Copies of this chain bind each other. A is one copy, B any other.
Amino acid sequence: MTVRAAVMPGPGMPIEIRELADPELRPGSVLLDTLASEVCGTDVHLWRGRLAGVPYPIVPGHVSVGRVAETRGVHADALGAPLRLGDVVTFYDVHGTCGDCYHCLVASRPNRCPSRRVYGITYSADDGPLGGWSEAIHLLPGVRILRLPDGVDPDDVIGGGCGLFTGFAAVERAGIALGDTVLVQGTGPVGLAAAAFAALRGAGAVLAIGAPAARLDLARRLGADDTIDVVDTAPPERDAWVAERTGGRGVDVVIEATGSPDAIPEGLGHLRDGGTYVVAGHYTDAGDVAINPHAMVNRKHARILGQWGTEFRHVSRALALLGKHAERLPFRDVIGRRYPLEGAQTALEDVAALRVTKAVISP
């Protein structure tokens, strides 16, 4: 018995379909039949070799949904809900946080723990199907499994993808107050989720800057009150647009989800004095940018927060809210196209070229 998987042999090399050895389950393991796995910007970064320490060849795919096919003594999910064969689940791609290092023990920042492992990124294909671009996924003991809440369509999870959780984490970190005006820079998966959760958290207004028109439509459907196209406008027009909507003061909170260094000084310019700016879009190094410490930080009395990755509660709570507000959070509509395993290379190229917002592998 083997498992078919789309394997990324190395940076710049074409994706190949390989037959992996059937995984050897251990006590505490769960085997999933994959229903869908996302193709996200990180996968493009992986393919371009922009992340350090990746053990190529790898099976990409960090956020996935599958059906429980086999378990070794696991009867409940990470929140204690009963787990049975056939259940549709997702899982937290990060695991293995040590609980022993300075970040885990003293600084309460497990997202910076050096031991954390991530499905689809830090495992070699030689270790088995430890990524979602595969017919089956081996969930090692300790991986946190979450049964999809009632009413949650697997497509909403995959349409949101990892951006769903990063956007949730950015909104939580921003500490939005009831009635705050929130600006989201960027309308990719992270920005869309940030706009949706900012609205859900009781923002007074959610503004979004992004492109193209279809994504701005999505932003509005997910909760943005107003949007502006970043391609069709110059910075002064966007300044005026924000000023008009905030009595000239700037917004209370900005969430950056662009990955473009230039967005930082522009966004700090949109922020009111004493406001909060969350940098959530720079997962990889896209270069430096000039800022003015006097005008943008000190005099503005700004609070600027980096948001790195996610913690388990971001995932579990985002899923729960997806269940509660299914009608208001149609993340399935973010899905642009579905690809079989054999189409993984095309999917990657489509995402790289921004031809689809969210590409999905359906093995």
Q: Which of B252, B272, B289, B294 contacts A286 (CB 8 A)?
A: B294
* CB-defined contacts of A290 to chain B, threshold 8 Å: 288-291
Is A102 in contact with B249, judged by CB distance below 8 angstroms?
yes
Chain B nearest CB from A55 CB (Å) reads: 20
A293 and B313 contact, Cβ closer than 8 Å, known pairs A109-B273, A202-B197: no
Give Cα distance in the complex from A108 to B311, angstroms: 11
The yes or no answer to A247 lying at the interface (CB within 8 A) is: yes
Chain B nearest CB from A169 CB (Å) reads: 10
* CB-defined contacts of A317 to chain B, threshold 8 Å: 106, 177-179, 204
Interface range for A? 35 or more
Q: Which of A107, A179, A261 has the most CB of B within 10 A?
A: A179
Give a binary string over A258-272; 1 marks a CB under 8 Å from any B CB, 0 the rest.
000100100000001
A272 and B313 contact, Cβ closer than 8 Å, known pairs A202-B197, A297-B306: no
The yes or no answer to A280 lying at the interface (CB within 8 A) is: yes
The yes or no answer to A346 lying at the interface (CB within 8 A) is: no
The yes or no answer to A307 lying at the interface (CB within 8 A) is: yes
Give a binary string over A158-179; 1 marks a CB under 8 Å from any B CB, 0 the rest.
0000000000100110000111
Give Cα distance in the complex from A283 to B294, angstroms: 6
* CB-defined contacts of A177 to chain B, threshold 8 Å: 172, 317
Chain B nearest CB from A28 CB (Å) reads: 11
Give Cα distance in the complex from A105 to B79, angstroms: 9
Q: Which of B179, B200, B281, B307 contacts A178 (CB 8 A)?
A: B200
Residues of A within 8 A of B (CB): 78-80, 97, 99-100, 102-103, 105-109, 111-112, 144, 168, 171-172, 177-179, 197, 200-202, 204-205, 225, 247, 249, 252, 261, 264, 272-274, 279-295, 297-308, 312-313, 316-318, 320-321, 324
